[in-house]
């Protein structure tokens, strides 16, 4: 586990920076796939974790959520429009993806449903961070922003890695995994305007260059 800023830690994983999990204050942010349970539990052992929040309910972010919440006896929080996906059996399905891909994710990545104790909405506070509704990649995607030192947990609105090849660099998530790409680009523009001193992605290494982020987002297709 690596400290990135005050009360912000990034867990290690393999491949490095591929599927990221964070702890902000006493809240675990995202939980990788079902295969990530042991490595997450090992790294947070000894830390005080009192809640678990999701940026969004995709298989590579909620896979271990149920198991971790059960083991630690902590509540699960997610964006208000992600609640049905998180609580309903079989609801985490990508309508754009081929059947074989959905079956593969369901077998190896997707975690079981889990009751949501708190539905997050714009302006809510989580461990000193403000909840921002940033839909597009998923209907209820949220990001977490701390204005005092300009730290942003961006989820999958953008990645600092190619989502398919794994090559480092800023990218938008593939349209195949994004129900509303135009809305996601609008969310990316909103986040870039914050000029984050530290951007923490769901996929890819953290970025401490707000100008680079702004330049990339400025080059996205206009909607």
pLDDT in tens, 153-207: 999 999 999 988 899 999 999 999 999 999 999 999 999 999 999 999 999 999 9
Asked whether residue 218 carries a pLDDT value surpassing 90, the answer given is yes
End-to-end CA distance of the chain: 39
The pTM of this model reads: 0.96
pLDDT for residue 52: 98
Element (H, E) at 70: helix 65-72
Rounded to the nearest 10 degrees, the angle between the axes of helix 181-192 and helix 210-218 is 150
CA-to-CA separations, 209 to 11, 20, 31, 206, in angstroms, rounded:
21, 19, 26, 9
Percent of the chain with pLDDT over 90: 95
Asked whether residue 217 carries a pLDDT value surpassing 90, the answer given is yes
Asked whether residue 2 carries a pLDDT value surpassing 80, the answer given is yes
Q: Report d(CA 5, CA 146) in Å as an integer.
A: 11
Q: What is the pLDDT of residues 101-122, one digit of tens each?
A: 999 999 999 999 999 999 999 9
Q: What is the DSSP string of 138-151?
A: STT-EEEEETTTTE
* Coil/strand/helix, residue 23: strand
Out of 44-48, 149-153, 206-210, least confident range: 44-48
pLDDT for residue 163: 87
Domains of the chain: 2-218 (3.60.15.10)
* Coil/strand/helix, residue 204: strand
Q: Which two tokens stand for residue 117?
A: 């104790």
Q: What is the pLDDT of residues 123-156, one digit of tens each?
A: 999 999 999 999 999 999 999 999 999 999 999 9
- Mean pLDDT of the 47-70 span: 98
């Amino acid at each position: 586990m690596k400290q990135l800023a005050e009360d912000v830690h990034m867990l290690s994983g393999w491949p490095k920076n591929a599927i990221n999990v964070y702890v902000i204050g006493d809240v675990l942010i995202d939980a990788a796939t079902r295969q990530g349970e042991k490595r997450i539990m090992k790294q947070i052992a000894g830390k005080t974790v009192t809640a678990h929040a999701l940026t969004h309910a995709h298989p590579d972010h909620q896979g271990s959520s149920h198991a971790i919440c059960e083991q630690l006896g902590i509540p699960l929080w997610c964006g208000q429009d992600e609640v049905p996906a998180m609580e309903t059996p079989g609801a985490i399905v990508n309508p754009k993806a081929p059947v074989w891909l959905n079956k593969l994710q369901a077998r190896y990545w997707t975690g079981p449903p889990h009751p949501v104790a708190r539905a997050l909405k714009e302006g809510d506070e989580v461990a000193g961070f403000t909840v921002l509704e940033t839909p597009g990649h998923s209907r209820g995607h949220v990001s977490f922003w701390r204005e005092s030192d300009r730290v942003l947990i961006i989820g999958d609105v953008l990645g600092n890695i190619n989502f398919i090849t794994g090559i480092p660099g800023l990218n938008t998530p593939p349209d195949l995994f994004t129900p509303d790409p135009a809305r996601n680009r609008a969310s990316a523009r909103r986040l870039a305007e914050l000029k984050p001193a530290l951007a923490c992605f769901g996929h890819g290494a953290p970025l401490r260059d707000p100008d680079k982020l702004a330049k990339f987002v400025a080059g996205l297709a206009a909607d």
